[in-house]
Amino acid sequence: MRRRNKILRGIPASPGISLKKAILLEGEDGFIMGYDVSDIEKEVQKFDEAVERTREEIITIKNRLEEVTDPYSAKIFDAQLLFLENGDIIHKTKNNIRRSKRNAEFVFDRTVREMASSLDRERSVFFRDKWGEMADVVSRVIRNIKGKTSVMYDGIAEECNIVAHGITASNMALLPRESVKGVVTEMGGRTSHTTIVARAFDIPAVVGVQDLLKYTKSGDLIIVDGTRGIVVINPDESTLKTYEERDRRYRDYTNGLVNLSDIPPTTVDGHTIELSANIELPMEIESALNHGARGIGLFRTEFLFMNGAPTEEEQLEVYKYCAESIGPDSIIIRTVDIGGDKLLQDASFCDANPFLGWRAIRVYLKEKKILKTQLRAILRASAFGNVKIMFPLVSAIEEIKLLKDILRKTQRELKKDGVRYDENIEVGIMVEVPSAAILAEDFAKEVGFFSIGSNDLTQYTLACDRGNPRVANIFKPLHPAVLRLIKNTVDAGHSQDIWVGLCGELGSETIAVPVLLGLGLDELSVCPTSVPEIKSVIRHLTMGECHEIALKALSMSSAVDVEGYLASILKEKSVGMEDVPLHI
C-alpha cells in the first residue's frame, strides 16, 4: 500500500497552491550511443544545422516571454544564445568529429562534458543553476542533431502538477498554462532561470526537493505549496481539507487584490508601516503594483550580470524603466551581490567558501570598474524617478567610507559632464553581517537608511548555510539571537534619525509580523504576492501589543519557543495563513 501524506520540503520558487494529480516527466536524452560515420563532412554539417535550429528555437522562446513580461526580463535567455556562440565549443566539436569520425551528438555531448569537468561547479549554487541552463542548450542541440522535435508536453490536456528531476527555463516557457497548475522538481534553486519563468507565468512551484521521484508516481494526488516550499504526496483527508481551505483563502486574497491594493498597512491604533516589494526582475513590478506594494524595497540586480558585466547604457535602460514604472514611489537598487550563491559567468570568481569569501562589495572594492559603471547607471536613472542606492554585505566602517568616496567621485564626474542625476539621492546599506548589526550606531552616522537582510543575518549569526538542506532545521530567522541583533539595529538607526527596514524573507512570514513591528521597524519589503496577507495581519494588530510581543520574544532563549508563541498569537487573532499545523 502506497504511503499516504508523505511531506517533502524544498525551496519555495513561485507562490501559490495547487492540488492536482501528478504527471512525471522523465529525461528525454538518456544514454547517447557513439558510432562510426562514413561521411564526416555531412556529420559536421548536421551539427552546424542543429546549432542554428537551436538558436532559432531559443529566440522564439525568448520572444514569447517578452510578450507576457517586459523587454528586459527575457534577457535571461541571452546566456543560452551566448553558449551557442562559444567558438571554442563549436570548433572543438567539429574538430573532434573529424578526428574521431564518430556521430555528431555523441561527440558534442562528450566535448561539452570534458570542458565542463574542468570547472568546479560545486562551489556555487548560482553556478550550478546556471550550468543547468547550459545543459538545456546541449539537450536541444542533441535533439536537433537527431532530428527530433520537443514533444515533451504533447498530450497534457487535463489539469495536473508536473513532477520532474529538472525542468529547464525554455521548457518551462513552453508549458501549456491552461493545463499545468503546479511544478515540482528535484533540481533548481532560487536563482535559476526556471524559477524566474515560473514566477513570470504565475505557476506555483517548489524546487530542490530531495527524493521527490523516489516517493512520487504519475497519478498521485499532490499538493504544491509554492509559498512555503512544501509538497504533500497523497495527502490524508485532514491535510487535504486543510489545504483546500488554504487554497480557497489564497484565491480569495488574489481575487480581492483590486480592493486591497489601496488599503494602507495601518494598525488598529493608527500606526502605518511602509510595505514595499522585493523583486529580481523588472517583470515583477507589475505584480508588486497589483498586490498593493508601495515602492520596491529591494531590486536585486544580479540577473543583469549573468552573461558578464553589462555596459552602463544597458543598465541605465533597465533602471530607468523600473524607476518610471514604480513612480512616484521609490525603488531601492542594490548594487550587484556577486559571489556566495550569486556569481558572474566568469568561473574565476569561485571561492572555496563563497559565503565567507570574495563576495559583493569585497569584489568591487577591488574591481572598481564594475561598481563605478553600475553607480553611473543608477545615478543617471535617478533623474527619472525616486531612486535610492543600497550596498550589500558591508561589515566594516572603512568599507562604507570607501564606497561613499567612490560614489562622490562618480557624482562629480557626472556633474562635470553635465549629466542629470538626483544630487540628494539616498544611500543605505544592508545590515546582514553581525558586525554591522553590533556596530549599527556607528554605521548609522554614515548612511541614510538601513535595510536588514534577515536571510544572511540569520546565516552568519547561526553559522548555518541557508542553501544547505542538511542544516535547514538550524536555519531559524526567529532565533532570539537574530531578533536581538535586529532590535539593536533598529534602536541604533533611530538614535541617529534614520529609518530602518527589513528586506529578507522573514518579512514575508505572517507569523513574524507582530514581533517585527514590535521591534520598531519602519518598513517591510516582501515578496510581491505576500503583500496582501502581510497587510491583513498588520491591520489586525495594535502597536501596543506588538511591543509586548517583541519584549516577550526577546526574553526567550530558543527559536522553538518564539515560533510557538507567535503562532499562538496569530491563531488567537485568526489572521494570516499560518494556521496549517507546524509539522506540515
Annotated binding residues for phosphoenolpyruvate, written as ranges, equal 300, 334, 455-456, 466
Say if CB 345 and CB 464 are below 8 A apart. no
Question: Which of the following is catalytic: 160, 193, 291, 322?
Answer: 193
Say if CB 83 and CB 308 are below 8 A apart. no
Strand partners, 390: 334, 428
Say if CB 224 and CB 17 are below 8 A apart. yes
Instruction: Count Cα atoms within 13 angstroms, Cβ side, for 534.
Output: 29
Q: Compute the Cα dihedral for 294, 330, 508, 169 and give only its sign.
A: positive
Q: Compute the Cα dihedral for 60, 63, 67, 69 and give only its sign.
A: positive
Give the position of cell 523516489. Answer: 214
Q: Measure the CA–CA gap between 228 and 512, rounded to whole angstroms.
A: 14
Q: Measure the CA–CA gap between 424 and 441, rounded to whole angstroms.
A: 22
Which parts are annotated binding residues for Mg(2+)? 432, 456
| Listed residue (169, 89, 161) closest to 129, CA to CA | 169
Radius of gyration (C-alpha) of the chain in whole angstroms: 25
Per DSSP, the residues of 412-474 read HHHHHTT----TT-EEEEEE-SHHHHHTHHHHHTT-SEEEE-HHHHHHHHHT--TT-GGGTTT
List Cα–Cα distances, 473 to 125, 185, 477, in angstroms. 19, 21, 11
Q: Measure the CA–CA gap between 439 and 142, rounded to whole angstroms.
A: 55
Q: How many CB atoms lie within 10 A of CB 43?
A: 21
Q: Measure the CA–CA gap between 577 and 226, rounded to whole angstroms.
A: 13
Which parts are annotated binding residues? 300, 334, 432, 455-456, 466
Per DSSP, the residues of 327-380 read TTSEEEEEPP--BTTB--S-GGG--SSGGGSS-THHHHTTSHHHHHHHHHHHHH
Reading across the β-sheet that carries 230-233, which strands appear in turn? 6-9, 230-233, 221-225, 17-25, 160-164, 180-185, 205-207, 11-14
Quick check: is 193 catalytic? yes
Nine cell digits for residue 253: 486574497
Helix (H, G, I), strand (E, B) or coil at 212: helix
Question: Which of the following is catalytic: 160, 322, 350, 503?
Answer: 503
Quick check: is 160 catalytic? no
List Cα–Cα distances, 255 to 144, 149, 252, 285, in angstroms. 43, 38, 5, 18
Say if CB 427 and CB 389 are below 8 A apart. yes
Residues serving a catalytic function are 193, 503
